[in-house]
Each structure stands twice: as C-alpha cells, then as structure tokens.
Amino acid sequence: MLQVYPCLRECRLTDVYTDLWLPIDEPYVYMNMVTTVDGRATIDGKAYPIGDDADHYLMRRLRSFADAVIVGAGTARNERVSVDIPEDMQHERVAAGKSANPRLVIVSGQGEVKLYKSLMELGKENLIIFGSNKSLLDLSDYASVHVSSHPYPKPEEVISTLRNQYGLTRLLLEGGPKLNAAFIESGSVNELFWTIAPKVIGKEGLPMVMPTSNLPVKTQLQLVSLYVSDSEIFTRYKFVE
C-alpha cells in the first residue's frame, strides 16, 4: 500500500485510518462509498462486488470508529446489511468502553422495512429504524422505531435523535445514493471516504449520489488523504463551506 497524499510513503493496510480523529461531543457524519472508475455505485444492484479485499477491510476499519452505521431503506432491501467488524477491532472498541459492533440505523421513507433473520438478531438496542410509514411500529419488538411526521425523515432529525436519545455522535453513512443525496443536501456530511475500484462497468448502475431534488452545486470538498493499493484508490475528503 502506498500513501500518496499528504505525504509519499509505503505503509501497511492495517495502518491506514487507525488514528482517525472524530469529535465525540458533537454529531459527526462521515460517509463511505465505493464506485467503479466509470462512477457506478452498484453492479447488478449490489455494492460488495465493486471493491476488493482492501476496500472491504477499510470499510470495516471505518465502521470500527462509528457509534452507528446509517443506511437507506433501499440498501437494506437490496443487500444483506451487516455492521460486523473483525474480532481485533471489536476488542479495541470494547477496551474503549464501546459496544463490540456499532449500531445499525435504517432510514426509510414511506415504504416498508422487512427484517431478515440477521437484522432481527441484532436486538432492539442495536437496531434503530426511522421512517414515516406507521407500519414500521410493527417492528418494535426487534428495533427502536421512530416514525416521522415528514414523508422522509429529515437528516437533521435523524442525527439529533441519535445524539439526544441514544448518545450516538460518530455516524458512518454507508449509502445508498438517495440517502447520501439527502444528507449532503441538508449539509449534514462532514467527510467522504471514497474508494475508486479499478473497474469499468459500462452498463447501468447508480451513481454515488442520486438526488431526488436539486443538490446545491456549491458543495465543495478538500482532499485529506489518498492511498493506492493494487490500482485501487482510497480517498478521504472533507466537506468545506
């Protein structure tokens, strides 16, 4: 693995992002996404085949710093969502007084959320669901459910509830593209970790950000770091005003 920015040096994959500094008192939203070189965030509706092992490792490394991982209902419907991290990272978390894995937050809108076995097994204290469909309350045995009065829960509402009711401030947004757009549009995202996988798909697939309304064009990013491993590029950007 080579770090290219802000300095040039060889390093090990296991050393990347280990000293990630995230504030704990205020909510901090960092987003992690992988796309192909031609900008696709899905291959046949899935994200996992895009990145290679290094991407999957760093995805878990980024999770290891999170109080909660947030995903959109579209992602939870299309993929088997999991927030598991490797045992060594779990030990680090537990030693720091945290739960072994971050909590999972699913943000729905007017649609339904179907819980498969692994989600049911997370338990009510580890699974939090937001949405506006009252049928979500039927899931209350398995999840902490928040029904919003807006058709789509506002990102600010999600973030403040996680902070005020659960004490969760380090929030990892793992997509998908529509929820990313809503969070970016509301000015709620602090950082982006974006992996560019050395692949061209050349067919339909969602982009990393898929606005359902107009995104402000002035969203500006500043590069924080850049790593390369086997032609796969790992970027970290800060959102700036």
Ligand X SMILES: NC(=O)c1ccc[n+]([C@@H]2O[C@H](COP(=O)([O-])OP(=O)(O)OC[C@H]3O[C@@H](n4cnc5c(N)ncnc54)[C@H](OP(=O)(O)O)[C@@H]3O)[C@@H](O)[C@H]2O)c1
Least distance (Å) between residue 139 CB and ligand X: 13
Q: Is 81 in the site for ligand X (CB under 6 A)?
A: no
Go through 144-153 and write b for each residue having 16 or more CB atoms within 10 A of its CB, e for each that does not: bbbebeeebb
φ/ψ (deg, to 5) at 92: -60, -45
Choice from 67, 174, 191, 232 touching ligand X (CB under 6 A): 174
Closest distance to ligand X from the beta carbon of 189 (Å): 13
Least Å from the CB of residue 192 to ligand X: 11
Smallest distance, ligand X to C-beta of residue 97, A = 29
The correct pick among 3, 22, 78, 100 for binding ligand X (CB under 6 A) is 78
Question: Which of 1, 16, 29, 47: binder of ligand X (CB under 6 A)?
Answer: 47
45: contact with ligand X by CB under 6 A: yes
Is the CB of residue 125 less than 8 Å from the CB of residue 150?
no
With binding defined as CB under 6 A, does residue 209 bind ligand X? Answer: no
As measured in angstroms, the least distance from the Cβ of 42 to ligand X is 5
Residue of 13, 17, 79, 224 that binds ligand X (CB under 6 A): 79
Beta pairing class for 127-131 and 170-173: unpaired
Residue at token pair 């969760």: 168
Can you read off the two tokens belonging to residue 36? Answer: 């192909």
- Enumerate residues 88-127 that contact ligand X by CB under 6 A: 107-111
Is the Cβ of residue 10 or residue 149 nearer to ligand X in the bound state?
149
> What is the torsion angle, in degrees rounded to the nearest 10, for the CA atoms of residue 100, residue 120, residue 61 and residue 163?
-80
Select the residue interacting with ligand X from 139, 172, 206, 209 (CB under 6 A). Answer: 206
Question: Which C-beta is closer to ligand X: that of 96 or that of 213?
Answer: 213
User: Among residues 155, 114, 156, 108, which one has the least CA distance to residue 132?
Assistant: 108
Report d(CA 81, CA 229) in Å as an integer.
26
Give yes or no for residue 182 binding ligand X (CB under 6 A): yes
> How far is Cα 183 from Cα 28, in angstroms, rounded to an integer?
12
- The radius of gyration of the chain from alpha carbons, rounded to an integer in Å, stands at 17
Is residue 27 near ligand X by the rule CB under 6 A?
A: no
CA atoms 160, 193, 210, 186: torsion sign: positive
CA neighbor of 70 nearest in space, from 17, 30, 14, 112: 30
Binding site residues, ligand X, CB under 6 A: 33-35, 41-42, 45-47, 50, 71-75, 78-79, 107-111, 131, 152-153, 174-179, 182, 206, 210, 212
